[in-house]
Amino acid sequence: FFQITERIIVLFVVINSQEEVQGKYVVCVLFFLWNLLDVVRYTYNMLSRMGIYYLPLTWLNFSLCIPLYPLSVLAKAYAICVSLRYFESFGTYSIKLPFPFTFSIYFPYVLKMYLLVLFIGMCFIIQNIFSERKAHLGTGNIKNKRS
């Protein structure tokens, strides 16, 4: 749920709303990383639900996401940073409420807070990825296997 919500926010709010960002190379890199991770993950999940365990695919599923997930987070963060100046100059999604509330929402600040949450969430997810990899593939420590 959170992954889909996060991708919807990045895709439709950040990338799709600013035409200047759509042509940047980081968008292509971001889509490539997302699709590469999903092809491996969904193939592994589909085969494991059917009771088929292919060791190279299992290793790829639990090892590929370790370097690629932080790269995708960096690509998302870079896309957000590139789009910040356009949100600041055009004022897209910034709202100023009328008199009784006298409250305004400056959307670049919301995106900056989202960047903070994105990196904090990445730390927890990477920790979870390592524990899942350890549970499915073992520690990978050769000394323990020899003794």
Strands (E) located in 1-146: 95-96, 104-105
Among 72, 62, 69, 18, CA closest to 40: 62
d(CA 55, CA 95): 52
User: What is the residue type of 31?
Assistant: F
- Which stretches within the chain are classed as H helix? 2-8, 19-22, 25-49, 55-90, 107-137, 142-146
Provide, rounded to the nearest whole percent, the portion of the chain with pLDDT above 70: 94
| DSSP class per residue in 63-101 | HHHHHHHHHHHHHHHHHHHHHHHHHHHH-TT-EE--TTT
What pLDDT, on a 0 to 100 scale, did the predictor assign at position 140?
57
pTM above 0.75, yes or no: yes
- Taking only the tens of pLDDT, the chain with its 147 residues reads 888 888 998 999 999 988 999 999 999 999 999 999 999 999 999 999 999 989 999 999 999 999 999 999 999 999 999 999 999 888 888 888 777 777 788 899 999 999 999 999 999 999 999 999 999 888 655 454 444
Instruction: Using the Cα atoms of residue 14, residue 15, residue 19 and residue 25 in order, give the sign of their dihedral.
Output: positive
Q: What is the largest CA-CA distance in the chain?
A: 74
